[in-house]
Structure 1
């Protein structure tokens, strides 16, 4: 890889040891970004921390972290106190075990990195590991200290390469029950389930990232270009939705069983029964 590694170290398990680097799989280079400027002068505005009570600017050396107590006071935590808690890194990703490729819920996925060799002979070793994992349809679960935090990593084969994805911890992922506890049990009749299944089959496809674009970022780029050229951007008119019908009728039309298509259904028009709880 030509780009600079975000992290360098070793990948190890049993007697296997290979020098590797992690390269961010994400890029923000193509995203439109803005600075904050003074409308009156056109000069860039600098961010400054001020005391919430006095309104006076606070110098960097006087800025410390604070934990808010129940009474509204703050418990000051010094930088050297936090530094003592940082786990020491030996620059090694240790593979703990292998597991089925789909053995981890994707809700736990955080940031992904390409895992590439940086030492002599590493390319052959990592290619072999990726091929063996692909043949067995498994991923590897490893641990390491990355960027001053201990992280759990899911390492998966992607073609002849390996991708390492940092995983969120359990306390960082909200439980489904807290979000969906108010949704009642609903029973649907056979026709509705068959119609829904038919629509899914009709629209079966594959994912190609090139088929999708960030319309907001594209619009920002066009706005910047238009302002440079002195043109006015005309906002497109939103598509009108009408002829609101119930869910079963919407399914029939979407499946081609009735006249028309693309009509909107309302929750209030749902033809289903709620199971008694």
Structure 2
């Protein structure tokens, strides 16, 4: 059994007739399922969820999302946030009991989620009075209650030393069993003989035992946790760190990298826009040094390129001059001949 929680989820009062019982509401259950997180097997980075347009496959900004209700096949009615907010029930801090009914009249299929209630202020005696009456009469109080802007149907029932508020499903949420064609009720209607009934009753009696919930457990959860412990003790673990995010006015998250930090620290001329400190000084100094080396290297290359161009020009000029002289000599020799 999970550890009980003393943290109050809600504070209000139970009310019926002129009776007013101040109470606090506490969670009566704790989820014990295995929480499998998504990880990228290549980098062991956590994998999150995105709001994606199912047609284009592109991510959709939060501001571009509206809420709609499907009215017909493929036809939606879009509702604004104001229209939805106006439809919320008025929040009250009261569990208003509307009637008392026999606990046997409420099928288990209606039971949804239980909460413990505890008396606060000077409500102990009235709390105990209602608890004892419900125990004695085998009745429950049917009530409506608003929790976190949502209205619920609920039953207030006595269970041991506590009064439990169990939220119910609404009647239109319960599916009918008529289409399942169950056998008719009653031994005769179902075609059962007296001998079959006696043998069945004897078998149930032989297998009967006191209710001990601790004897039952989730074998899948236990096996997974045992496997996790075994691997952890053998050192088979992976380090996973959440990416650091920064909230902006538009609600979106932006991850700053080193390039962005340098861009903000340096202006176009390579000078700092503000006096850096600590690690920023070291980064700026390194950036300046690297930029200076690149500038010096670039100047040397430019000078060498200019010198080579000058030499090439002189060589081409010398070659043209020699060719002209040779041409004049050849022409003179031909004339003499």
Q: Residue 197 of structure 2 is aligned with which of 193, 198, 220? A: 193
For the 8 Å contact 1:144–1:151, the answer to whether it is kept is yes
- Whether 1:3 aligns to 2:6 is yes
Listed as ranges, the gaps of 5+ residues in structure 2 are 237-337
CA deviation after TM superposition for structure 1 residue 51, in Å: 0.6
CA deviation after TM superposition for structure 1 residue 182, in Å: 7.2
Aligned to 2:111: 109
CA deviation after TM superposition for structure 1 residue 173, in Å: 0.7
Structure 2 CA distance for partners of 1:196 and 1:135, relative to 1, 3 Å: closer
Listed as ranges, the gaps of 5+ residues in structure 1 are 233-277
Residue 157 of structure 1 aligns to a residue whose secondary structure is strand
Residue 127 of structure 1 aligns to a residue whose secondary structure is helix
Q: Which moved more, 1:209-218 or 1:186-195?
A: 186-195
For the 8 Å contact 1:139–1:155, the answer to whether it is kept is yes
Question: Which gives a bigger RCO, structure 1 or 2 (Cα 8 Å, sep 6+)?
Answer: 1
CA deviation after TM superposition for structure 1 residue 212, in Å: 0.5
Separation of aligned partners in 1, 2:69 and 2:18:
45
- The residue correspondences of 1:203-218 to structure 2 (distance < 5 A) are 203-218=207-222
- Whether 1:34 aligns to 2:36 is yes
Separation of aligned partners in 2, 1:214 and 1:207:
17
Separation of aligned partners in 2, 1:182 and 1:133:
33
Q: Residue 223 of structure 1 is aligned with which of 224, 227, 233? A: 227
Residue 166 of structure 1 aligns to a residue whose secondary structure is strand
Separation of aligned partners in 2, 1:69 and 1:99:
37
Aligned to 2:143: 142
Structure 2 CA distance for partners of 1:195 and 1:124, relative to 1, 3 Å: same
Separation of aligned partners in 1, 2:27 and 2:199:
43
Give the TM-score, by structure 2 length: 0.62
CA deviation after TM superposition for structure 1 residue 80, in Å: 1.9
Separation of aligned partners in 1, 2:216 and 2:44:
36
Which of the pair is proportionally richer in helix?
Answer: 2
Q: Residue 21 of structure 1 is aligned with which of 16, 20, 24? A: 24
Separation of aligned partners in 1, 2:108 and 2:63:
41
CA deviation after TM superposition for structure 1 residue 206, in Å: 2.4
Q: Residue 65 of structure 1 is aligned with which of 64, 67, 83? A: 67
Give the TM-score, by structure 1 length: 0.75
Residue 98 of structure 1 aligns to a residue whose secondary structure is strand
CA deviation after TM superposition for structure 1 residue 73, in Å: 4.2
Q: How many residues align?
A: 229
- Whether 1:181 aligns to 2:181 is yes
For the 8 Å contact 2:5–2:26, the answer to whether it is kept is no
For the 8 Å contact 1:131–1:160, the answer to whether it is kept is no
Separation of aligned partners in 2, 1:183 and 1:121:
52
- Alignment RMSD: 2.3
Alignment deviations for residues 41-73 of structure 1 (CA, whole Å, 9 cap, x no partner):
101111101111111111122222222354524
Separation of aligned partners in 1, 2:95 and 2:183:
42
- The residue correspondences of 1:23-172 to structure 2 (distance < 5 A) are 23-28=26-31, 30-70=32-72, 72-118=74-120, 120-172=121-173
Alignment deviations for residues 3-62 of structure 1 (CA, whole Å, 9 cap, x no partner):
22222212111221122121111112x443221111111011111011111111111222
